[in-house]
Structure formats: structure tokens, C-alpha cells
């Protein structure tokens, strides 16, 4: 084992002192930092987390010690165990180490915790840590801080399913992620992103909610390959053979995830209808792009109705508009089939999705072409707009007593 790994493990072992020393554990971390240059950033990050927890006590905010304890495991034991393996295999080993070691250290820090909560947070911490390790160049800071903040965000009291059901959800999410990777529909970063979203949507909304997102993922992946060779010739095909990255996953799913979490906390149907509008937009926009680009008619700029070349931001075709309509409608019909909503939900998904897709085109024709928004930013704001339209549809039905 290399000297750097030994220093990293030594920093990780300080987690055993936290239940007894708490903020005073900065002293052994300072000692490790003094003798190992490679562990200085990591030791400093751990020390800052402990000092932050100590400082928050003075403003009546509680950063739970068990959350900090799990964060200590990720850039130390989990990283050392996984670093010698390929990206997907390494990520799976990282996740297993996060749960296997995160679970007992969290119990050590707070013995009164329910097992379901410990498992949920250690899984969430492992997934966020593995994701941040892939996408960040400053792992020794972003992994402990980022994963700690994510776990802290979900450390509030929330009714979790039984332990075996939670494990089943975890395995289900992993299986879907691995399937997307092996089908070459998503890279490792996108897989980790989808697993996080899958677990959270199922826990806060339910399996029916996630089925709508899964429908979008499957249709998006399938239609990306629709007449792919033709799109390549036109220069409008998705890069890397249609393999999606984490930016695509988050930009299309974050708004829907927020609505699902909000529904789990507040339980209002307004957020359900907003979710339908957001997912309808994501699905409608993806189908409009992937199908519309194969249209034999020349696209028209949505703001001027002047002809433009295929693939130009803001260009629309009748074929693409039809695909957007059907993509949004598919989400509404699926919502009705799984019992989430009746005809009102179909209407919300259709109107929110179709208008959100066209709002995406307007943003593409204006802010994206000026360089003020990226494609991911456009997707994020478009799904938000579609979600707001879906929520407005619910409010209108509510006021009309329908």
C-alpha cells in the first residue's frame, strides 16, 4: 500500500474518535496533515466539517454527527478500495464500502438512529461521493463537503419504508443504472445520477412517479438512436454514439425531482401536476429534437418563422411539434394508467409538456444563441416552465371545482 493511501486511511480512522472527541478530533487531523503533505487538503476538509458542525450549534442548526461520520468514510476507505478498478467496477466497490463502513460508524455516532435512516443516508452519501469523485478535480474537498451537504439535506425526519423494502429499492435502482450503462445509453456519471434520482423519487413520491421518469429515459434513449446514421450525416446527432452524460440527466430531471420531494413532504396534488408538466416537457422536448431533426422539411426559427438549417437552436418543424405533442401526451396517459391522475393529469402533462417544449425552443433561439445559456440550462428552465404550467392547470381545475 502506498504512503498516500496510508495517510488517507489514517485520516479516515479519526472517525472512531468523533463520538468522544467531536471537534477536538481536529488535533489528530492536524498531526496527520503535518506529517503527510498528500493528506493536507483532506485533513483540512474534515477539520472544517467539524468546525462547521461546532459553529452551527450557536445558531440552532444541527449538522448531525452521524452525517459527518459517513462523510469521513467516502474519500478515505471507499476511495482507497476502489481506485485500482475501472470506472464502473470502481464505483460499485465505492458504493459497497460506503454502506458497509458508513452504516456502523453512523450507529457509533448516534445509537438511537433507526436502521432504515442509516442505510438510506449511507447509500445516498456513497452515491453522491462516487459521483463527485468522477466529476471533480478537487476530490479531497468536494467529496467530503458535497456528500455531507447532500446527506444533511435529507437528514430530517421522514417516514422511510422497511429495511428490506429500502434494500429492494436500492437494488432496483442499481439494476436500472447498470442496464442503461450496458445498453450504452448512459456513461458512469449519468448512471450514478440516475440511481440517485431513482431512489429519491421512489422514496418521496412512489414507484409510480419514477415510472414516468423511466418512460422518459427509455424513450429518450430509444429515439436518440432513431435514424442515427442520418443525423450523423446532417451533423445533428448526439455525441458519443448517443451515450448520455450526467448534465443531460440532471438538467432534465432536477426540477421533477424537486417536485417529487416536495410532494413527499407536503402532500399537495399541485406538486403532482407540476411533476407531470416537468416530465412531459423533458419527454416532449427530447422526442421533438430527435424526431424533428429527421424531418424532410426545413426547420423554421420559432421567433421569426424564417427557414434555418437543421440543428440550429430554436429551429422547429411540424414533425418535431407532433413528436412533442405525443411525447407529452404519453406521460399523461401513463400517469393515468398507473393511477396517479385522471383526465386532468393527462391534460396537465400535455399542456405543460407541449408549452414547455416550445419554451425550450424560444430559449434556444434567444439566450442560448447569444451564449447566455447552455443547452443544459435551457433544459432546466424549460422543465421548470412546464412544471409551473402543470401546477397552474391544477390550480385552474381546483378553482373551477373540477
Interhelix angle 87-109/188-204, nearest 10 degrees: 40
Q: Does residue 114 come out as left (phi exceeding 0), alpha (psi in the -120 to 50 range) or beta?
A: beta
Is residue 227 over pLDDT 70? no
* Mean pLDDT across 338-349: 94
Q: What is the DSSP string of 76-88?
A: IIIHHHHTTS-HH
Which DSSP helix (H) or strand (E) runs through 314? Answer: none
Is residue 242 over pLDDT 70? no
Residue 244 φ/ψ, nearest 5 degrees: -85, 150
Percent of the chain exceeding pLDDT 70 equals 95
Is residue 225 over pLDDT 70? no
Residue of 243 and 266 predicted with greater confidence: 266
Q: What is the pLDDT of residue 259?
A: 97
On the 0-12 / 13-18 / 19+ scale of CB atoms within 10 A, 319 is middle
Q: What is the pLDDT of residue 233?
A: 63
Q: Tens of pLDDT along 99-149? A: 999 999 999 998 788 889 999 999 999 999 999 998 888 889 999 999 999
Q: What is the pLDDT of residue 137?
A: 82
| Calpha distance 54→303 (Å, rounded) | 54
The number of helices, as runs of H, and strands, as runs of E, in the chain is 18, 2
* Average pLDDT of the chain to the nearest whole number: 90
Q: List the domain boundaries for the chain.
A: 1-160, 175-402
User: Among 105-114, 253-262, 380-389, which is the least confidently predicted range?
Assistant: 105-114
Residues 6 or more apart in contact with residue 114 via CB below 8 angstroms: 160
Kindly report the pTM of this predicted structure: 0.90
Residue of 88 and 211 predicted with greater confidence: 211
Q: Tens of pLDDT along 134-191? A: 888 888 999 999 999 999 999 888 888 888 898 899 999 999 988 888 888 888 998 9
Q: For residues 234-258, b (16+ Cβ closer than 10 Å) or e, as one string?
A: eebbbeeebbbbbbbbbbbbbbbbb
Amino acid at each position: 500500500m502506498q504512503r498516500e493511501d496510508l495517510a488517507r486511511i489514517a485520516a479516515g480512522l479519526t472517525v472512531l474518535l468523533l463520538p468522544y472527541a467531536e471537534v477536538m478530533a481536529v488535533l489528530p487531523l492536524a498531526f496527520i496533515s503535518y506529517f503527510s503533505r498528500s493528506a493536507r487538503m483532506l485533513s483540512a476538509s474534515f477539520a472544517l466539517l467539524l468546525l462547521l458542525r461546532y459553529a452551527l450549534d450557536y445558531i440552532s442548526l444541527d449538522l448531525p454527527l452521524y452525517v459527518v461520520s459517513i462523510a469521513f468514510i467516502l474519500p478515505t476507505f471507499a476511495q482507497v478500495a476502489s481506485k485500482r478498478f475501472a470506472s464502473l467496477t470502481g464505483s460499485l466497490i465505492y458504493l459497497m464500502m460506503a454502506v458497509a463502513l458508513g452504516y456502523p460508524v453512523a450507529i457509533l455516532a448516534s445509537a438511537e438512529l433507526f436502521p432504515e435512516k442509516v442505510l438510506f443516508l449511507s447509500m445516498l452519501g456513497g452515491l453522491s461521493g462516487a459521483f463527485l469523485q468522477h466529476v471533480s478535480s478537487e476530490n479531497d474537498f468536494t467529496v467530503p463537503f458535497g456528500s455531507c451537504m447532500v446527506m444533511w439535506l435529507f437528514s430530517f425526519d421522514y417516514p422511510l419504508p422497511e429495511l428490506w423494502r429500502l434494500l429492494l429499492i436500492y437494488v432496483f435502482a442499481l439494476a436500472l443504472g447498470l442496464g442503461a450503462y450496458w445498453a450504452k445509453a448512459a456513461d458512469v456519471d449519468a448512471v450514478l445520477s440516475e440511481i440517485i434520482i431513482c431512489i429519491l423519487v421512489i422514496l418521496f413520491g412512489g414507484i409510480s412517479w419514477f415510472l414516468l421518469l423511466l418512460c422518459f429515459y427509455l424513450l429518450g434513449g430509444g429515439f436518440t438512436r432513431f435514424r442515427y446514421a442520418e443525423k450523423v450525416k446532417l451533423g445533428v446527432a448526439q455525441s458519443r454514439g448517443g451515450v448520455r452524460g450526467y448534465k443531460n440527466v440532471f438538467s432534465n430531471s432536477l426540477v421533477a425531482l424537486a417536485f417529487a420531494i416536495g410532494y413527499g413532504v407536503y402532500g399537495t396534488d399541485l406538486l403532482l401536476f407540476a411533476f407531470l408538466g416537468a416530465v412531459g416537457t423533458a419527454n416532449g422536448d427530447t422526442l421533438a429534437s430527435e424526431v424533428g431533426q429527421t424531418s424532410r422539411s426545413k426547420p423554421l426559427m420559432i421567433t421569426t418563422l424564417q427557414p434555418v438549417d437543421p440543428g440550429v437552436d430554436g429551429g422547429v418543424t411540424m414533425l418535431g411539434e407532433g413528436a412533442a405533442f405525443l411525447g407529452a401526451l404519453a406521460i399523461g396517459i401513463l400517469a393515468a394508467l398507473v393511477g396517479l391522475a385522471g383526465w386532468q393529469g393527462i391534460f396537465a402533462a400535455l399542456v405543460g409538456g407541449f408549452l414547455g417544449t416550445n419554451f425550450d425552443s424560444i430559449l434556444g433561439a434567444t439566450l442560448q444563441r447569444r451564449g447566455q445559456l447552455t443547452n443544459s440550462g435551457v433544459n432546466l428552465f424549460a422543465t421548470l416552465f412546464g412544471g409551473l404550467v402543470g401546477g397552474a392547470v391544477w390550480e385552474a381545475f381546483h378553482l373551477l371545482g373540477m
